[in-house]
Amino acid sequence: MNSNVVDVQWDRRMSPRLLLNPYTTYPEEKKRVAHYLLMIAAIAEDRMVGFSENARRTMILLHQIYGDRIFEIRKPHMFQEKIVASEFWEDLGPSRDSISPVLISVNEFVKNKAARDLVAYSKTFAKPRDFVADLAGNVERLGGPYLDKAWVYMRWMVRPQPDLQIFSHFVPVDLLVPLTQENANVAASLGLINNALPSLWRDETRAPRAREAITRFARHLFPDDPARVDYPFFLLGRWLAKKNLNRGTLKEALQFFDHMHAVTGQPHAYYQKLSRYKSGWEKKTAIVLRKLKIPYGYETLSFPLPGEIYTPDFILDKEIHGRKIILEPHYMMTPHQSAKYSLFKRTYGQEFLLILLLKNDLISYYHERNILNDETCDDAWPIEFVDLLVEKIRLGTYDPQAKSYLQDKGAA
């Protein structure tokens, strides 16, 4: 269901939009696309950008500021100043200061080694493996434990739609499945590798064996196109993050995907994205979460429901009994919104725990009018006391069974 989903890095339905056409048929534009996506591939690691979609957002920001000069810049501070000043700087990864030097490394490689034409340069290599080795030896953060980013880039450049097939002289049968963290989660669940711990990528012997193991498995499914599993496994591996990686958990995830598809008529492909806080309540919630050092994503996932899409405000990395916590600040709530939350709870409740944050004096009001009940959410909490709720979550003392909205005055 997910093998024909367009990659997040160039999906033209997403905002902000790319300033170039990834499916162009013009040779000069293909050169720009190949260069642009190599820059994205080089920085698309969690420690630098936080999550994959931030690589897209970072590059679009720089492209909007510099135009096509982005491909000629050789001074890291020119990129660094703009990224630090961006609204999403704090949402990037702990190694975010490496983004600018890595981008400069790509520009230096394309200028000095590829003569500003990656398409022509790629034709000097017989196999994708040879080009990957060259990238690993010449571009910062594409070799050693980061080699799989180069294989992701090859998948983009070699496979046909929904990928781009810009390096058309290579054939998909020669691609390896990138051993990304998400793909490793799937491989470990299948028993193809022992675990998906960070030490795997630091081991020069284990990492290549693991990459070959997942590729052999993929070739049993798609002999001529093993990398076809890459993006579906990426999406599945996200879902498996921080779960027990075994066949039982994998089967549960796939059954859940099938259930969701039956309910919504859509495959389970979601994107993460950065958004601006839309209210003071949301800003307050974000401040409290950051103060207590609880990792979260703001409007990071969108869930298909029959007839609409629901994008929760805050999804915490913290879990309760294997369910991720959603915090949804709300100033006013309508019966339609109540019905949407109820539908979300019925569809996704086994994976997510939904807590509505409402004004203290409105909790009992909504409860009396049946806008708020056991079917609407797992709990409702006074937004005025969100710091107390988050502290309980941090300490592990929060009890979702003690529903605050059932109390007489809605007090926590």
- Cβ(260)–Cβ(237) below 8 Å: no
Which residues share a beta bridge with 382?
A: 358
What would the mean pLDDT of 166-174 be, rounded to a whole number?
Answer: 98
Give the pairing of strands 323-330 and 352-358.
parallel
pLDDT for res 209: 96
115 has a pLDDT exceeding 80: yes
Read off the pLDDT of residues 253-276 as tens digits, 9 standing for 90 and up.
Answer: 888 778 767 766 666 655 554 445
pLDDT for res 268: 60
280 has a pLDDT exceeding 80: no
Q: What is the 3-state secondary structure (H, E, C) of the chain?
A: CCCCCCCCCCCCCCCCCCCCCCCCCCHHHHHHHHHHHHHHHHHCCHHHHCCHHHHHHHHHHHHHHHHHHHHCCCCHHHHHHHHHCCCCHHHCCCCHHHHHHHHHHHHHHHHHCCCCCHHHHHCCCCCHHHHHHHHHHHCCCCCHHHHHHHHHHHHHHHCCCCCCCCCCCCCHHHCCCCCCHHHHHHHHHHCCCCCCCCHHHHCCCHHHHHHHHHHHHHHHHCCCCHHHHHHHHHHHHHHHCCCCCCHHHHHHHHHHHHHHHHHHCCCCCCCCCCCCCCCHHHHHHHHHHHHCCCCEEECCCCEEECCEEECCCEEEEEEECCEEEEEEEECCCCHHHHHHHHHHHHHHCCCEEEEEEECHHHHHHHHHCCCCCCCCCCEEEEHHHHHHHHHHHHHCCCCCCCCHHHCCCCCC
pLDDT for res 404: 56
- Six-digit token string for 100: 């600018």
Domains of the chain: residue spans and CATH:
27-240 (no CATH), 280-406 (3.40.1350)
* % of the chain with per-residue pLDDT over 70: 93
Nearest-10 Cα torsion for 263, 244, 194, 251: -30
Give the confidence band of 406 by pLDDT, cuts at 50, 70, 90: very low
pLDDT for res 410: 41
Look at the block and give the residue holding tokens 């008529």.
Answer: 265
What would the mean pLDDT of 170-190 be, rounded to a whole number?
Answer: 96
pLDDT for res 271: 52
What would the mean pLDDT of 100-110 be, rounded to a whole number?
Answer: 98
183 has a pLDDT exceeding 90: yes
How high does pLDDT run on average in the chain?
A: 89
pLDDT for res 266: 64
205 has a pLDDT exceeding 60: yes
Read off the pLDDT of residues 18-34 as tens digits, 9 standing for 90 and up.
Answer: 999 999 999 999 999 99
Strand order in the sheet with 352-358: 296-298, 314-320, 323-330, 352-358, 379-382
How far is residue 124 from each of residues 64, 152, 160, 177, 267, measured CA to CA in Å?
32, 20, 21, 22, 39
pLDDT for res 278: 58
Read off the pLDDT of residues 22-71 as tens digits, 9 standing for 90 and up.
Answer: 999 999 999 999 999 999 999 999 899 988 888 999 999 999 999 999 99
What would the mean pLDDT of 388-399 be, rounded to a whole number?
Answer: 90
Write phi, then psi, for 328 (nearest 5 degrees): -125, 95
Q: Out of 218-227, 295-304, 397-406, pick the least confident.
A: 397-406
Residue 30 amino acid letter: K
Read off the pLDDT of residues 324-382 as tens digits, 9 standing for 90 and up.
Answer: 899 999 878 888 899 999 999 988 888 899 999 998 888 888 888 888 888 999 999 99
Give the confidence band of 407 by pLDDT, cuts at 50, 70, 90: very low
13 has a pLDDT exceeding 80: no
Q: Residue 393's closest CA among 281, 300, 294?
A: 294
148 has a pLDDT exceeding 50: yes
409 has a pLDDT exceeding 50: no
Give the confidence band of 412 by pLDDT, cuts at 50, 70, 90: very low
